[in-house]
């Protein structure tokens, strides 16, 4: 496969179709429960605390979150994505460099 065939968004969905779909559904659920993009009003530490809570709850309750009925793994992944997004966009601590000659596009 050449670099011209790469599409990071499409490829992420192809590599992790179930996880990406679950994250998208969780995003929609959260927007309905709170407000669209409400997570952006929280800081990294808030999301890190949520990760800690879900790790602890997994130890105490098992894999499924009692409040939502979703796997704690989903909440961990969702909050980790929020942390990463804050880190890359809001905190400006690091930028992900786009590989030369591989434009990022959404199909």
Task: Output phi, psi for 37, to 5 deg.
Answer: 60, 20
100 pLDDT more than 80? no
pTM of this structure: 0.75
Q: Is the torsion defined by CA of 48, 68, 36, 19 positive or negative?
A: positive
Q: Which pair of structure tokens corresponds to residue 24? A: 């998208």
104 pLDDT more than 70? no
pLDDT for position 78: 94
Q: Is the torsion defined by CA of 52, 55, 61, 66 positive or negative?
A: positive
Element (H, E) at 73: helix 72-85
Alpha carbon distance 61, 63 (integer Å): 7
Q: What percent of the chain has pLDDT over 70?
A: 79
pLDDT for position 31: 79
Alpha carbon distance 67, 89 (integer Å): 30
**3-state class (DSSP) for residue 72:** helix
């Amino acid at each position: 496969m050449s670099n011209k065939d790469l599409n990071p968004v499409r490829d992420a969905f192809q590599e992790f179709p179930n996880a990406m779909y679950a994250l998208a559904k969780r995003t929609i659920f959260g927007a309905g429960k709170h407000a669209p993009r409400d997570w952006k009003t929280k800081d990294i530490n808030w999301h890190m605390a949520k990760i800690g809570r879900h790790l602890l709850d997994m130890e105490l309750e098992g894999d499924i979150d009692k409040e939502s009925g979703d796997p704690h793994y989903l909440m961990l992944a969702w909050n980790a994505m929020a942390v990463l997004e804050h880190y890359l966009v809001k905190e400006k601590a690091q930028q992900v460099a786009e590989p030369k000659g591989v434009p990022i596009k959404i199909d």
